Structure 1
Amino acid sequence: MRAVVLEQFGGPEVLACREHPDPEPRDGWVVVDLKACALNWHDCLVRRGQYPGVSFPHVIGSDGAGTRSDTGEAVVILPSLGWGDDERAPGPGWEILGDVTPGTYAERVAVPVDCVFPAPAGWSFTDAAALPLAGLTAHRALFARGGLQSGETVLILGAGGGVASVAISLAHAAGARVLVTTSSEEKLELACALGADGGAFYGDAGWPDAIRELTGGRGADLTFDSVGSWHDPLTATAAGGRLVTFGATQAAATEVDVRRLYFAQQSILGTTMGSPRDFAALLELVGRMPGWRPLVDRILPLDAAAEAHRVMEERRHSGKIVLHL
């Protein structure tokens, strides 16, 4: 099969599209003939060597959609492997597809049978491939962990990213008021087209004050964070509010004003990915959003994976980047 194969860690240039052995599924696993796969920031981190356990040659990639080789059914892949039975957190055997287990930048991939779900009715493979990691991360962060309720205000940081763009639509569909931070007027307009009511530019020093002004001085009930630097986001969060965090794109360590946190009765919640039950809930929600599809910035061929990684690292995209097979 053709695959994008990683032979060493490094920049986008280490990604090479070439012939690679077909996957050999274990008992309880199934092979999916992929029609599309999608990029995530996580893929760049694996490519750089920031996750242990990779052995070369390796195929990265978490998101994919295609057909089951045994039944021909159109499916979308849950990239959260071995979550376990505890909904509160993944078990010790949990991993993200493409970390150690060969991933989706290929014509075929082998995954556990409980990680394949029917593709949403009427969706293209491109649309379906754009959903899993971003959609699952957003859904669990907003609802299972963040406890978002209809009528609440959610602040979504960095609205140009794939997870954030999905989160805007899911939160809007659930009846929440959505505010965002973003880097440009163009991206703010795009966020509003997805369901946001407004927002602020994170390059402006006073952006938390702008968010508070948009909420009548109160702040957001829930702040949705992939940045990892919490001082300003917590300032923009209401007393009694929650900050749910799933990324560290700006900082892997941060400082918190502990007194302000406990006097304001705020909560900080960690999350990553989600369980098969979370994924089923996500698919049920998008099934009630018949006109909605994940925001796709561009579609490129599989052999353009290196260029796709450059686009992602240079933040020249809004929404998902998809590779078509």
Structure 2
Amino acid sequence: MKDMKAVVLNTSIPEKIEVKELALPELGPKEVLIKVKAAALNHRDEWCRQGLYPGLKDGVTLGSDGAGIIEKIGSQVDQEFLEKEVIINPAMNWGDDPIAQSKDFKILGMPDHGTLASYVKVKVDRVHDKPDHMTWEEAAALPLGGVTAYRALMVQGELKSEDSVLVTGFGGGVAQFAAQFAIAHGSAVYVSSSSESKLKKGQEIGAKGVFNYTDTSWTSKALEQTGGFDLIIDSAMGETLADLIKVIKPGGRIVFYGATKGNPPQLDARKVFWNQIRLIGSTMGSDADFEAMLAMVSKQKIKPLVDKVYGMEDVVKAFDKMKMGEQMGKIVIKP
């Protein structure tokens, strides 16, 4: 009997995704079944749709971010979990080393069935109490982007309250969290984007200054205004790295959690070593990072910026918006 709707990958059709009726999953002894109240898109979902993610398999339910209510529990799960309102940590098998993930690390939503469905099953150790100050839509928008931003900023970036911080590409999911987290930490935060409306939103949430990176003189303006940055959080790399090296202070840290513009065509190695600049890679986060991120957003009452909420019937429109990169914050799907 088919009991749930899910957004699955289907590379044989033009849209590459479709809404299908699926049977409710069987639970293992340490698993829980969550009725999804809201789910959110990440770039990896669209990359799966475009065939740009490894290990793709048709028929797999996409989605890494979600929040909902536990409706059923496995035989070894404590009864107290029934009816809990939870969000899901989508990172699995990080491993015991906090420095980097294990070779078995994977993310919910490919190759395992994900959150873009009426129901999702996960191991009980992947669920956490939904933050009380968030709506379902906000809670669903938090997990993957939140933990990625937290690790880049706090763990790899070693953020200090006295730091001057630049968050590039403001408007994307991780970038909006990085900016909000750094502002809450008391740092002087600046954001960059090619969109004037996104820059305006950055100012509204507390950025001290904004820069349009399509302005060829933005680096000189940034240096004049700030004297340079102690920490830069970036996901673009490519040819933009040269500009970031221009505006980072001696001894500064450039943390990158993506490379949407590809590899840098060249690197000013002399400037990097002479100025003691650190280039640091970062991705997702450990279970400890996730718990620390949750504690921070709950204490500071930080709320994700939600761009738009779509019904499952409009999921192709939601993916298309993610592809265009027009969103200000997270795109949310309601099953």
TM-score, normalized by length of structure 1? 0.95
Hey, what does 2:287 align to over in structure 1?
Answer: 276
Query: Does the 8 Å CA contact 1:130/1:294 hold for their aligned counterparts?
Result: yes
Hey, what does 1:228 align to over in structure 2?
Answer: 237
Distance in structure 1 (CA, Å) of the matches to 2:141 and 2:201: 18
Distance in structure 1 (CA, Å) of the matches to 2:173 and 2:220: 26
In the alignment, residue 281 of structure 1 is paired with which amino acid? A
Hey, what does 1:6 align to over in structure 2?
Answer: 9
Aligned-pair distance for 1:61?
0.7
Distance in structure 2 (CA, Å) of the matches to 1:110 and 1:78: 12
Specify the SS of the correspondent of 2:271.
helix
Specify the SS of the correspondent of 1:31.
strand
Query: Does the 8 Å CA contact 1:47/1:60 hold for their aligned counterparts?
Result: no
> Equivalent of 2:219, from 204, 208, 215?
208
Choose 224-233 or 133-142, whichever is displaced more: 224-233
Asked if residue 117 in structure 1 is aligned to residue 128 in structure 2, the reply is yes
> Equivalent of 1:299, from 289, 294, 309?
309
Asked if residue 54 in structure 1 is aligned to residue 47 in structure 2, the reply is no
Query: Does the 8 Å CA contact 1:5/1:57 hold for their aligned counterparts?
Result: yes
Specify the SS of the correspondent of 1:238.
strand
Size of the alignment, in residue pairs? 321
Specify the SS of the correspondent of 1:66.
strand
Distance in structure 1 (CA, Å) of the matches to 2:11 and 2:41: 19
Distance in structure 2 (CA, Å) of the matches to 1:252 and 1:30: 41
Distance in structure 2 (CA, Å) of the matches to 1:62 and 1:303: 19
Asked if residue 64 in structure 1 is aligned to residue 66 in structure 2, the reply is yes
Query: Does the 8 Å CA contact 2:193/2:199 hold for their aligned counterparts?
Result: yes
TM-score, normalized by length of structure 2? 0.92
Aligned-pair distance for 1:214?
1.6
Q: What's the % identity of the aligned pairs?
A: 39
Aligned-pair distance for 1:284?
0.6
Hey, what does 2:322 align to over in structure 1?
Answer: 312
Distance in structure 2 (CA, Å) of the matches to 1:130 and 1:301: 15
User: Unpaired segments of 5 or more residues in structure 2?
Assistant: 73-81
In the alignment, residue 232 of structure 2 is paired with which amino acid? T
> Equivalent of 2:203, from 192, 198, 216?
192
Choose 1-10 or 69-78, whichever is displaced more: 1-10
Aligned-pair distance for 1:186?
1.8
Taking the TM superposition and a 5 Å limit, the aligned residue runs for 1:67-146 are: 67-70=69-72, 71-146=82-157
In the alignment, residue 321 of structure 2 is paired with which amino acid? V
Distance in structure 1 (CA, Å) of the matches to 2:146 and 2:265: 26
Hey, what does 1:267 align to over in structure 2?
Answer: 278
Hey, what does 1:42 align to over in structure 2?
Answer: 44
Hey, what does 2:162 align to over in structure 1?
Answer: 151
Deviations 1:178-218 (A, max 9, x none): 01111133211100112211121011122222211121x3x
Query: Does the 8 Å CA contact 1:81/1:112 hold for their aligned counterparts?
Result: no
Query: Does the 8 Å CA contact 1:208/1:232 hold for their aligned counterparts?
Result: yes
Hey, what does 1:324 align to over in structure 2?
Answer: 334
